Amino acid sequence: MASFDQELDASGLNCPLPILRAKKSLSAMASGQVLHIIATDPGAVKDFEAFAKQTGNQLMESREEGGKFHFMMKKA
């Protein structure tokens, strides 16, 4: 797994909370820093793709592991 600067555990949260929490975390980070997001909402997979596309932040990684979804988001 690539390295990251900050971690956000959004396990158990449902749409749209993982996106909203991620946005909040990213706002406090510097450009180029990476946020590792953990979620259990299966809808988050498509949602983080759309989030990245719309906001310009880069979704470097999106994978499932042990029933959880992991995302690496690099702040634009």
Partner 1 sequence: MSEKKLAIIATKGSLDWAYPPFILASTAAALGYEVQVFFTFYGLQLLRKKLDLKLTSLGNPGMPMPMPMPVLLQALPGMQSMMSMMMKNKMKSKGVASIDELRSLCIEADVKMIACQMTVDLFEFSNNEFIDGIEFGGAATFLGFAGETDICLFV
CB of 47 to partner 1, least distance (A): 8
8 Å CB contact between 12 and 68: no
67 binds partner 1 (CB under 8 A): no
CB of 34 to partner 1, least distance (A): 18
43 binds partner 1 (CB under 8 A): no
Query: Out of 14, 15, 28, 68, which one is annotated catalytic?
Result: 15
Sequence-separated (6 or more) residues with CB below 8 Å from residue 59:
48, 49, 51, 52, 71, 72, 73
8 Å CB contact between 72 and 59: yes
Instruction: Give yes or no: 12 in active site.
Output: no
Q: Which residues bind partner 1 (CB under 8 A)?
A: 12-17, 19-20, 22-23, 40-41, 50-51, 54-56
